[in-house]
Amino acid sequence: MAKIVAGIAVSHVPAIGVAMDKGMTGTPYWEPLFKGYGPAREWLAKLAPDVAIIVYNDHACAFSLEIIPTFLIGVADKFPIADEGFGPRPVPVVNGHPALAWHLAESLILDEFDMTIANEMPVDHGLTVPLSVTCGKPDAWPFPVIPLCVNVVQYPPPTGARCYKLGMAIRRAVEKFGQDLRVVIYGTGGMSHQLQGERAGLINRRFDTEFLDGLTRDPVALSKISHTEYMREAGSEGVEMVMWHVMRGALGDDVAEVYRHYHVPASNTAAGLMILENRSAA
Ligand code: DHB
Ligand code: FE
């Protein structure tokens, strides 16, 4: 059977991708951030998962105000890199895993999570930056990826609690897949940041630290944080953190934090990275 062996939570700041693409990771501004990514890359290369599910949000690239899927799964065999206004990032195309993706789509929908199904979809920085952060600059990504989008761009986004339950349903689905696959799941976005309005530039280290602590200690309580509290404490874009609950819900009760990196500033955000191993799958 397939199993989810680990979860990775990681911010997706577009400027992090630009720094990598333009060879600026050793500059005084970026060096402390990228130094903290090294151990995560080593850990992931050693784990060598067979497939990754990447929970992320599209930023009005694949779909915009015309269509707003609350939850979406990509079932294609390839996902092109989106052009976000400066041409597509110079990173490899993202290969999918249609067999597991269709299995997930069927299982999730029959388990009462009404997923939108994407047969074709470009992927933006929300997905490619977490891949770059954790895999570096390979000629081809080291594993196929199932993109799973969550709407956090247009009101109303799903609640953290709903996201956590989706994660639990993903775990049930993965464990019903006949093939032996070691699956890793990414929760992306966050941490505290606000890109517009009077509080643009907001960072809340206390909230972020408590959030990271809570992911291991008490994820169910954490998943109940309201949208208003995210807005107040973590800024308008801090609500992206609901996606981390999907990742956490997909891991079992017995989870160990094996790595954490938190750095301010990275563009307008507090950039966080956390690795959780799923001991119940060991
Ligand atoms: C920034 C952060 C984001 O999450 C995003 O999607 C775009 C920009 C930023 O900090 O610049
Ligand atoms: Fe974002």
Tens of pLDDT, residues 63-122: 988 999 999 999 999 999 999 999 999 999 999 999 999 999 999 999 999 999 999 999
Residue 278 alpha carbon to ligand 1 centre in Å: 29
Percent of the chain predicted with pLDDT > 90: 98
Among 10, 12, 13, which residue has the most ligand 1 atoms within 8 Å of its CB, making it the best to mutate? 13
**Closest ligand 1 atom number to CA of residue 11:** 4
Q: Read off the pLDDT of residues 4-60 as tens digits, 9 standing for 90 and up.
A: 999 999 999 999 999 999 999 999 999 999 999 999 999 999 999 999 999 999 999
Q: Which atom of ligand 1 is nearest to the CA of 12?
A: 4
* Domain containing residue 205: CATH number: 3.40.830.10
Peptide bond into 241 cis (omega under 30): no
Distances (CA, A) of 153 to 1, 18, 243: 35, 22, 12
Mean pLDDT of 263-279: 96
SS3 assignment for the chain: CCEEEEEEEECCCHHHHHHHHCCCCCCCCCHHHHHCCHHHHHHHHHHCCCEEEEEECCCCCCCCCCCCCCEEEECCCEECECECCCCECCCCCEECCHHHHHHHHHHHHHCCCCCEEECCCCECHHHHHHHHHHHCCCCCCCCCEEEEEECCCCCCCCCHHHHHHHHHHHHHHHCCCCCCCEEEEEEECCCCCCCCCCCCCCCCHHHHHHHHHHHHHCHHHHCCCCHHHHHHHHCHHHHHHHHHHHHHHCCCCCEEEEEEEEEEEECCEEEEEEEEEEHHHC
Is 125 annotated in the active site?
yes
Residue 193 annotated in active site: yes
Residue 282 has pLDDT above 80, yes or no: no
Q: Quick one: pLDDT at residue 280?
A: 80
Residues with CB under 6 A from ligand 1: 12-15, 59, 193, 195, 237, 267-269
Catalytic residue among 97, 193, 245, 261: 193
* pLDDT tens per residue across span 175-212: 999 999 999 999 999 999 999 999 999 999 999 999 99
What pLDDT is stored for residue 246 in this prediction? 98
pLDDT digits (tens, 9 = 90+) for 133-171: 999 999 999 999 999 999 999 999 999 999 999 999 999
Atom of ligand 1 nearest to the CA of 59: 6
Atom of ligand 1 nearest to the CA of 57: 6
Q: How far is the CA of 156 from the centre of ligand 1 (A)?
A: 19
Structural domain range at position 221: 3-281
> How many domains does one find in the chain?
1
pLDDT (tens digit per residue) in 226-255: 999 999 999 999 999 999 999 999 998 999
The answer on pLDDT for 278 being more than 90 is yes
Ligand closest to Cα of 195 equals 1
- Tell how far the Cα of 14 is from the centroid of ligand 1, in angstroms: 6
Cα–Cα dist 19/125, whole Å = 13
Residue 250: what pLDDT? Answer: 98
Round to whole Å and give the CA distance between 116 and 107. Answer: 13
What ligand has the least distance to the C-alpha of 19?
1
Mean pLDDT, all residues of the chain: 97
